[in-house]
Each structure stands twice: as C-alpha cells, then as structure tokens.
A and B are shown apart, each in its own frame.
Chain A
C-alpha cells in the first residue's frame, strides 16, 4: 500500500465508525480521542479495521501511534515494510 492508500483507508474506516465526521475536514494532526471524540470502543474498532485492511496487528502499546492521520500513515507504512 502507498502512503496515499493508507491515508484513504484510515479516513474511510474512521468515517464508518463515526459517520458524523466529515473526513474532508479532518486535519493530519487531529487526535482521534481528544479532537474527534472517539471512545475506547471506537478506537478498538478502528484498530480492528486497520488490522483487516493492512495486516498490521497494532499492539495496545502502539495505539498512541495511530492517534492521528499523520502518525498512523507513518506507523503503518513502516510496519508494512
């Protein structure tokens, strides 16, 4: 997956978990909990969806590294190498 594809996949899964979020307005540094108000169940669902899409088994200690679009793209790109 390219960085652009990872970004698109992340935003798509975010929108499916929180349909009220307009992904066009999500900035690279918006925090999924502090800014987008995802709760722990939403975060787990996002991690589960990203695992399905990318094959990366994001361990709990790495959750902070997928907390924004920018962080997640970097983390997942690296993990998929």
Chain B
C-alpha cells in the first residue's frame, strides 16, 4: 500500500484490475483503493508478472502493507512460507512499517504516545447508573442542542454516566445533524485537516502578492476562443497554470519537495491543480511534466484532471508527485487568497478572481481586468527575492500570452 498523500495512514482495497499471471509494466494501474480523498488508482512501481494477490478486497490496509507479490522476469516464485506473502495485519501498522519517505511518521508517533496512557477500565454498559440519566454538563448541553432525550443514550462514563462522546455518537433525530462519522465528507475534512495542520506546524510560511493586469490575456483568449468550438476553448485558468509552470521551471527553489530535513528540487514541474469538489473538500492532482505541454495540451490535461477528480478516479502518482500547487479561485470569488502549502511541497500559487479595476497604463487611468497573484512559500527553502522573481516571470508571461 503506497502512501498517497502527506498524511495518509491507511486505505481500503476496493478493486483489483489485474489477476495472477498478468504481465505488468511500471505505471500500469493495478488496483483501486478508497482513501479519505476518494477512490485512487494504484500504479505498479516495477515491471513483472503478478504472482499472487495478497490483500483481500474490502480490507483496510496500513501504508506499507503488501498488496500483491510480483515476480521480476525470470524470478522463481517464493516458497509458500515466505514471510512477505503472509496476510498483512488488517489494521494499525507499527511505525516501523512506514516507508522511510515519511520523515514525520516517527514524530507523530512520539506525539501520540503520551495520549495512549493506560486505558480507563472499561465499564460494562449494563452497569447500573448512579441515577437515571446521570450525565456530564457538556453532555447535557450537547444533547439539548441536538434535541436528544438523555434516557435514550447509554452512558460509558464512570458508573454509566453519559459523557460528551456518548451524545455525539448517538443516532440523531434531526436530519440536519452533522455528517455521520466516517462519511466521505467527514473523512475528506480529516485528511485536509491533517495535511494543513502538519503544514502550518512544520513549514515557516511567508507570503508575497502582486496585482497583475490580465487584460492582454483575456483579450488573447477572447480572440482565440471566438474561432473555436466549445470543446476546444481555453480558460484563463489554463494560462495561469502554463505561466506558473514556466515560472517554476526558472525559479527552482519553489519547485520540489522538502523531505528528510532537506529540499530536493524537482527536475520536472508537476503543478498540482487544486480542484474543488462539489459537496465539499478539494484535491490537487498533479498535471505531470507541464512544461512539456503546449497551451492546448495544458487545457486538455486540466479538463481531464477535473473530470477524474469529480468522478473519483485519480492516480496515485497524481496525488503524490505534485511539485508546486496552483489554486485559482475562479470567476466569481474573492480578490485574494493566502494559501497553505501542501507538504512536502514548498510553494503554493494563489490566484484571486479577475476583477475590472481602475489601472494606470501609459499615464492614463483606465478600466482593466486584474488578478491578484499571491504566493505562499517555505522560508526553509526560499526568500522574498526568489519569490519576487517568480512573480516577475509569471507577470511577463501573462503579458505576452501568445508566447504561452
């Protein structure tokens, strides 16, 4: 089970796309797993032949657990007693099983450790309560908020007292009550919370922003799209991704991963394109090697990513190999976004909604369509000077949209 995101701990195997005997090549999609961020296609890392499918469908597996046994060309099948083909533990792998690329795993374990102090003695739920409906004050307040009758709730506190957790876990009468624990939305929020908390705790963010005239880009697109059928039209967002990819290729301290205590600049620029999911949450799948794509290919790639993100069919590599994130607020949103970097990346490019504003051009104040670009960057890796250079590159490219 590969790690498919900064804070993924486990995922559930939902589909095998190969069978024993199948030949696979590096990059082939072999299985689908359900993660907190939806269904993700798992790609194989090696060439070979599928020998055995070890993991059972429907099982939740920790990162690092074996999914299948693959034989390299000419390799003999392992003896049956081989430990690696033993069924994996169904839950909670020890920290040691995590792949080494997760430098924070041990830290997290250390932080968690004190919390797993001796478990309170389990009180049998049938034990006699001190008095009918004995409940903690917090539990009473919450039960009132939720419109719950305390007599219908079984207490798990000392002597059967109803505590807050019992109320939160009780089936609610109100249909508007919060999403059930484990619902996709709740899982998505947990995944976002984990990654963003880690980001804010470990990455010393700093921010630079600049308002940019995008009238040349808008005019260029209006002219280009006027002669094209809808299926071939380009959105301003594609120009932004193209410009950001080219700028990131020049400012290498903003493109890569900070892992194992050091920054590793990436050779390719794989911009993670933030996609808001309907119903809540977001994912930022990577547009692989975006510098090599022209504008039409960039647009096609973004269309494909958005539709697959919505349908829940992204690939594992797209979830992990992003080197910088681009988050665009779209046509009808706020002016400025100050984003949180997606670890282990070291920069996030935020673009506000285009607005028509008074602008000084050739000593004249005229209405122009402008966008505020704001960059969140990692101070362990770069300083204001590098980020300012990125902004200048981006602005220059958008001023000459035909060069994109």
- Which of B22-30, B63-71, B228-236 touches A? B228-236
- Interface 0/1 of A44-55, CB less than 8 Å to B: 110110110000
Name A20's contact: one of B226, B279, B302 (CB within 8 Å). B279
Sort chain A's interface into a size bin.
Answer: 10 to 19
Closest chain A residue, CB of each to CB of B221 = A60
Within 8 A of B (CB), among A2-54: 18-20, 33-34, 37, 39-41, 44-45, 47-48, 50-51
Does the CB pair B230–A41 fall under 8 Å?
Answer: no
CB distance from B215 to the nearest CB of A (A): 15
Contacts A41-B306, A60-B226 given; indicate if A48 touches B278 (C-beta within 8 A). no
Task: Please measure, in the bound complex, the distance between the C-alpha atom of A33 and the C-alpha atom of B237, giving whole angstroms.
Answer: 16
Task: Please measure, in the bound complex, the distance between the C-alpha atom of A40 and the C-alpha atom of B229, giving whole angstroms.
Answer: 16
Does the CB pair B276–A57 fall under 8 Å?
Answer: no
Question: Quick check: is B332 within 8 A (CB to CB) of the other chain?
Answer: yes
User: A50 contacts which chain B residues (CB < 8 A)?
Assistant: 230
CB distance from A77 to the nearest CB of B (A): 19
Name A39's contact: one of B226, B229, B231, B330 (CB within 8 Å). B330
- Interface 0/1 of B330-341, CB less than 8 Å to A: 111000000000
Name B226's contact: one of A40, A45, A59 (CB within 8 Å). A59
Task: Please measure, in the bound complex, the distance between the C-alpha atom of A40 and the C-alpha atom of B226, giving whole angstroms.
Answer: 17
User: B331 contacts which chain A residues (CB < 8 A)?
Assistant: 33, 39-40
Contacts A34-B332, A40-B237 given; indicate if A18 touches B278 (C-beta within 8 A). yes
Name B230's contact: one of A19, A20, A34, A48 (CB within 8 Å). A48
Contacts A18-B278, A33-B331 given; indicate if A60 touches B225 (C-beta within 8 A). yes
Task: Please measure, in the bound complex, the distance between the C-alpha atom of A51 and the C-alpha atom of B232, giving whole angstroms.
Answer: 12
Question: Quick check: is B303 within 8 A (CB to CB) of the other chain?
Answer: yes
CB distance from A51 to the nearest CB of B (A): 5
Interface majority SS (helix, strand, loop, mixed), chain B: helix
Does the CB pair B276–A39 fall under 8 Å?
Answer: yes
Question: Quick check: is B222 within 8 A (CB to CB) of the other chain?
Answer: yes
CB distance from A14 to the nearest CB of B (A): 12
- Interface 0/1 of B101-133, CB less than 8 Å to A: 000000000000000000000000000000000
CB distance from B155 to the nearest CB of A (A): 38
User: A58 contacts which chain B residues (CB < 8 A)?
Assistant: 230
Does the CB pair B303–A51 fall under 8 Å?
Answer: no
Task: Please measure, in the bound complex, the distance between the C-alpha atom of A33 and the C-alpha atom of B229, giving whole angstroms.
Answer: 22
CB distance from B23 to the nearest CB of A (A): 36
Contacts A20-B278, A39-B276, A60-B222 given; indicate if A47 touches B303 (C-beta within 8 A). no
Name A41's contact: one of B225, B231, B279, B302 (CB within 8 Å). B302
Task: Please measure, in the bound complex, the distance between the C-alpha atom of A45 and the C-alpha atom of B299, giving whole angstroms.
Answer: 12
Does the CB pair B278–A41 fall under 8 Å?
Answer: no
CB distance from A40 to the nearest CB of B (A): 5
User: B302 contacts which chain A residues (CB < 8 A)?
Assistant: 41
Closest chain A residue, CB of each to CB of B231 = A48
Closest chain B residue, CB of each to CB of A21 = B278
CB distance from B335 to the nearest CB of A (A): 17
User: A57 contacts which chain B residues (CB < 8 A)?
Assistant: 229-230
Q: Could you list some 17 contacts between A and B, CB below 8 A?
A: A18-B278, A19-B278, A39-B276, A39-B330, A40-B237, A41-B235, A41-B237, A44-B230, A44-B233, A45-B307, A48-B231, A50-B230, A57-B229, A59-B225, A59-B226, A60-B226, A60-B233
Apart from A41-B303, A51-B229, A60-B226: 17 A-B pairs, beta carbons within 8 A: A20-B279, A33-B331, A33-B332, A34-B332, A37-B278, A39-B331, A40-B235, A40-B236, A40-B237, A40-B330, A44-B233, A45-B307, A47-B230, A48-B230, A57-B229, A60-B222, A60-B233
Binding site for A on B (CB under 8 A): 222, 225-226, 229-231, 233, 235-237, 276, 278-279, 302-303, 306-307, 330-332
Nearest 9 A/B pairs, CB to CB:
A48-B230, A47-B230, A51-B230, A39-B330, A48-B231, A41-B306, A40-B331, A20-B278, A20-B279
